[in-house]
Amino acid sequence: MPNFHDFFDDKPRDKCGVMALYGHPRAAELTYLGLFALQHRGQESAGIVSSDGQKLIPVRGMGLLADVFRDQSQFKVLEGSWAIGHVRYSTTGSSSLTNVQPLVVNTKDGVLAVGHNGNITNEKALRRKLESEGAIFQTTSDSELFVHLIARSKAPTISERLAEAAKQLEGAFSVVLITADGIVVARDPHGFRPLAMGRKGDAYVFASETCAFDLIGATYERDVMAGEILTVTSRGCESLRYAESELSMCVFELIYFARPDSHIYGTSVDKVRRKLGKILAEEHPVDADIVISIPDSSNTSALGFSHRSGVKYEIGLIRNHYIGRTFINPSQFMRSYNSRIKYNAVRGVLEGRRVVVVDDSIVRGTTLKKIVASIWGAGASEVHVRIASPPVRWPCFYGMDYPTRRELIAAFATPKEIESYLGVNSLRYLSLEGVLEATRDTPSNYCTACFSGNYPVKLTDPAQIAELADPDKEWARAELEKVLRTME
Ligand code: SF4
């Protein structure tokens, strides 16, 4: 049964956020602050590993950063002027302490720790191969593959060992490593997940999103290139291109996942989201009195919609920001209040108005259905839904945690059917061309597989291929009803 978070975070979740810093006497504290800005990328566990040049020092645990780092004394332990950090949401491997990253391991070449964002698509085949050669895995996380492959390499330097490992891995990885000599970061040749490089004085900083740089006062320099490894030690920063770039960056980071104050893939997330909203208004205009967003993720695209359509933007839903993990698996009694805990409709704004609701995406549709009901309940005279992305019909194997196809409402229902399921006057989606138009000023190719079914890395795992089959419509509908009933 889905847990409470599934009901109210009916959105894809990214696997993780990573951070690395070299050359600052308070490296661990700055890494901690940077991870705070990346907390939206993962809330299941958090960890920092620092180095004083002799040893690696880890502090890791389950929960939010604030749960793991409870007092200042932990930073006294995390000595040294280089550190890496990680916040995790598990998409492969279970949510348990053994899978908490950074993973720390002893190898014949010394101790190292690794933090990974993304999903390795050939994990199972590689795991079987390594196990047949005697490898013993300590975790169920695909990220452990880095450790085993690096440990097996006979290459002379850590960056070359990582390059050998990276060439065997398929799928998505933006990865940070720490050794007693320094830090190493890399991005897969498709550049699925973002990874930016910045400077804070003489220190080098790397993070999944530049909002982490803003928080610690670092300056963005450039993205780590797809297929590039950067090694930072006392000798400076060295770049190694281990593969040609074949860019297919995750477009969903721009639509939903990254924070709007971040700069990823060489562009401003805010700017792209506003364009998504503007193009959506051009493609699907509607006579209405007000435009509202579903906070916070669709605020910016709703502003763009309002700007282009001339329909006034209003705050029609209030989000409760204090729902924590304590609400997982609530009692039946509490579930009867579920639909009002996270969002409340503002009657004074909505009553008697023709309302356009802009959302960034629909995954299951269950949360949106509940929100629409509360907008009607607040007295709206018409409700029109506009989605700033195309229908999500296909699963993601590159690090975004979608439900299976049978849980993706657009995989088994037409937009018209979804419109009637939601109970709205109209539902329209932005076209894929519209999404690509919004990203046009970035010189990049994007992965659009969850909308188009065109997977840039060929799927070889039979379980993943089986996931692509059309879901049984009747069965999928019945399952959706079950989810809805547990929300009532
Ligand atoms: S399938 Fe969708 S969510 Fe996954 S990487 Fe591609 S665009 Fe992003």
Testing ligand 1's pocket by substitution, the residue of 13, 444, 448, 452 carrying the most ligand atoms inside 8 A of its CB is: 448
Strand partners, 18: 86
Residues of the chain with pLDDT > 90: what percent? 73
- Residue-wise pLDDT tens digits, 291-321: 999 999 899 999 999 999 999 999 999 988 7
What average pLDDT does the chain have?
90
Q: What is the pLDDT of residue 8?
A: 42
- Residue-wise pLDDT tens digits, 413-427: 999 999 999 999 999
What is the number of the ligand 1 atom nearest to the C-alpha of 253?
A: 8
What residue's CA is closest to ligand 1, atom 4?
Answer: 396
Domains and CATH numbers, the chain: 4-246 (3.60.20.10), 268-442+471-486 (3.40.50.2020)
Is residue 366 pLDDT above 90, yes or no? no
Q: What is the pLDDT of residue 321?
A: 79
CA angle 209, 456, 365 (to 5 degrees): 70
Q: Using omega within 30 degrees of 0 as the cis cutoff, is the peptide bond preceding 296 cis? A: yes
Token digits of residue 254 = 């721009």
**CB neighbours of 91 closer than 8 A, spacing ≥ 6?**
13, 15, 119, 399, 400, 401
CA of 147 to the centre of ligand 1 (A): 25
CA of 299 to the centre of ligand 1 (A): 21
Testing ligand 1's pocket by substitution, the residue of 119, 170, 246, 250 carrying the most ligand atoms inside 8 A of its CB is: 250
CA angle 375, 378, 383 (to 5 degrees): 35
Q: What is the 3-state secondary structure (H, E, C) of 361-420?
A: CCCCCHHHHHHHHHHHHCCCCEEEEEECCCCCCCCCCCCEECCCHHHCHHHHCCHHHHHH
Is residue 16 annotated as a catalytic residue, yes or no? yes
| pLDDT category of residue 5 using cuts at 50, 70 and 90 | very low
Which residues line ligand 1 at a C-beta cut-off of 6 Å?
Answer: 192, 250-252, 396, 398, 400, 447-450
Is residue 339 pLDDT above 90, yes or no? no
CA of 362 to the centre of ligand 1 (A): 14
- Residue-wise pLDDT tens digits, 68-109: 999 888 898 999 999 999 998 865 555 667 788 999 998 888
What is the number of the ligand 1 atom nearest to the C-alpha of 446?
A: 7
**In which residue are the tokens 């980071």 written?**
253
Is residue 326 pLDDT above 70, yes or no? no
| pLDDT (mean) for 219-239 | 97
What residue's CA is closest to ligand 1, atom 8?
Answer: 250
